[in-house]
Chain A
Amino acid sequence: MNSAETEFIAEKELVSIVPNFNYEVIYLISGDIGPFRAGLPVKVPIWLAMSLKRRQKCRIVPPRWMNVEDLEEVKKQELNERFFTKMPSEHYMVEAHLLLSVAADDIPRCEQIRTILKDIWDIRMSKLRSSVDQIIKTNAIHARLDHLTLMEINSIRPLLPHALDQLFRLQNGRGPSQASGSQAFTQ
């Protein structure tokens, strides 16, 4: 899975927008949205929010956690804990990435937010590196990966699982196909 696909999945998350138009409920296959009342917040999937914002049909309300104070707190916790902490959103990095790219004007202190997010990402990446080391060193056949977000899992894919596959194969013989030609001699 590449980043574009991870982003695609994260785009299903809901975000609040304040539309500048009126419209009744729209019955999408993935669920109903609206009604839209100019000036009143309403939740829509991120893919739609991005499109409406690009066409200047709405303003985006930053998710509750997307502010300097909350993120500083998240960062502090992440630094203090040995294990991964639970992120405020399952797709925190992608959501921030997307919303900051089109709606920087709707999100106060967006440059600072970018910096803190980068810090959080880096702290978690370095934790991930030691987890990976540990998994390899102990030859783990199973690892628990709670609180890792999809994009973070993706950052070790395909190298870690593929390398472990090879390790397993070296340890347990040559895999399903003993591809060395048949030994039986038939005439």
Chain B
Amino acid sequence: MDSSFGLDNEVALSDDETVTVQQVLETLENAWLNEKFSPELLPHQTDIVDCMFEQISGMEENLEKVDQSDIRVEIHRMELDRIRYVLSSFLRTRLEKIEEFCTHIIEEDSTRDPDERYLSPGEKKFAEEFQNNIEQHFERVALRHMPLNVQKYDRQLMKVEPNLKSYVFLRARSTAEGLMLEGMDDTDEPLTMVKDSQHMALYSGVASLVKNGTLQLI
């Protein structure tokens, strides 16, 4: 019997890049922790998520076919449960942010190039409908009964924004040099975060390094 259940260990995420499934899972787990601890919504990881779903459903199909008392069945199922949890928690955290900062996120994303957007197409559709739904509710119950000069829903005044000036814990995946953090002044020496060192700092000062993978939120 073939123990690999016929799944390829290597997957293509884009035309010129092949990675192992194991690497995809690691990327997902790191993205999950970053999303969990960052105050703002981070770029979507649809490639990674979709790839993981392919793996899960491929594995599930194959598991159906073998003798259910085979010890592998339970082991694989346990692992699938773990991966499904990470996926679910990752997407749930994103959805919670999308709901809370809806207007702000839609607005920010509309200034980005299509392939640089933070919202996945599914999330974008959800965000827009969510925003409509709540604005319609305001309109129906309150705004349209109000005097003309305050009847308009003022997105700029009312939008809820994440507080980027929040403290986060992080670990350097590779060395970052010459950091000038929020609150440091000209007399302070720029900071170096050596590979594997751990820190606490304001998110706003390290956001770009989190997004490019130099720093990992923990």
A interface residue numbers (CB < 8 A to B): 1, 8, 21, 23-31, 47-48, 51, 57, 135, 141-148, 150, 153, 157, 160-162, 164-165, 168-169, 172, 175-177, 181-182, 186-187
Among B168, B184, B197, B202, the residue within 8 A (CB) of A168 is B202
Contact in complex: B71, A21 (CB < 8 Å): yes
Determine if A148 and B198 form an interchain contact, defined as CB atoms under 8 angstroms apart: yes
Contact status A165-B36, CB under 8 Å: no
Interface centre among B72, B160, B191 (most CB of A within 10 A): B72
B 51-72 binary contact with A (CB < 8 Å = 1; else 0): 0000100010000000000011
B175 at the interface (CB under 8 A from A): no
Are the C-beta atoms of A144 and B79 separated by less than 8 Å? no
Are the C-beta atoms of A23 and B71 separated by less than 8 Å?
Answer: yes
Q: How far is the CA of A157 from the CA of B169 in the complex (A)?
A: 10
Residues in A with CB closer than 8 Å to B55 are 29
Cβ < 8 Å to A, chain B residues 159-218: 159-161, 163-169, 181-184, 191, 197-202, 218
Q: By the criterion CB–CB under 8 Å, are A187 and B149 in contact?
A: yes
B interface: dominant SS: mixed
Q: Which residues of B contact A165 (CB under 8 A)?
A: 163, 165-167
Q: Which B positions have Cβ atoms within 8 angstroms of A? A: 3-5, 7, 9, 21-22, 25, 36-37, 55, 59, 71-72, 74-76, 78-79, 82-83, 85, 149, 154, 157, 159-161, 163-169, 181-184, 191, 197-202, 218
